[in-house]
Amino acid sequence: MKRSLGAKTLVYPTPVFIIGSYDSEGRPNAMAASWSGICCSSPPAVSVSLREATYTYGNVMERKAFTISIPGETHWKEADYFGHASGRNEDKFAATGLTPVRSEVVDAPYVGEFPFVVECKLLQTVKIGLHTQFIGEIMDLKADEELLADSKIPLIEQVRPLVFVPIVREYYGIGDKVGKAGSPKK
C-alpha cells in the first residue's frame, strides 16, 4: 500500500543544470537550477524554471539566450556554490576558478570544465506561480572530445551527471545501466 506524501517538489531524477547567461554589462554568470528537462522533440527544446528574484532571470529575459552546462560528479561543490551565491554580488567563475566560455551560437557563456553543454535561444516563457518556465530551443550541443571517442553522443556513464534530491538537499551520481528501451517483448 502506498502512503500519501502530500504535494511536494519531489520527482526522480532531478537534474543539476548550470544556467549560463550574460548580464547587461556583459559579465558572465551561472546558476544551478534543477526544475528542468527536455520539453519538445521538434524543435528540440529544453525547459528550466527560474524565480524572478534570481539574477539569471533578468539576464535571460534581456539576452533571450542561455546555456546549460552539465557538471560531472567531480564538480558537485562548484555546482552547489553556483546555486547558493548570487551573481549580483560576486563573480562566481572567479570564486570557483572555472572558465566562462563565450558561445559561438547564442549570447550566453558556458562552463568550460563541464563535460556537456546545451546552447539555447529563448523561445517562450510561461509564468507558473513562483517560477517562470523558460523554454529554449536547442541550437547546439557540445561535448568534450574524449567523451566522443567511441560514440556520436556523449555516453551518460562518461558524463556522470549529478542529480539532486530537493527535499533533503543532497547530490547523487547515476547508477548502472539496467536495460535498453524497446527490448522487452512483454
The band of 185, judged by pLDDT with boundaries at 50, 70 and 90, is low
Residue-wise pLDDT for 2-27, tens only, equals: 998 889 887 888 899 999 999 999 99
Buried b / exposed e over 35-70, threshold 16 CB at 10 Å, is bbeeeeeeeebbbbbbeeebbbbbbbeebebbbbbb
User: Per-residue pLDDT for 149 more than 80?
Assistant: no
Backbone phi and psi for residue 181, each to the nearest 5 degrees, phi listed first: -60, 135
User: Per-residue pLDDT for 86 more than 70?
Assistant: yes
Average pLDDT over residues 129-133: 96
Backbone phi and psi for residue 67, each to the nearest 5 degrees, phi listed first: -120, 160
Residue-wise pLDDT for 152-161, tens only, equals: 888 888 899 9
**pTM of the complete model beyond 0.85:** yes
CA distance 1 to 44: 39
Residue-wise pLDDT for 104-123, tens only, equals: 999 999 999 999 999 999 99
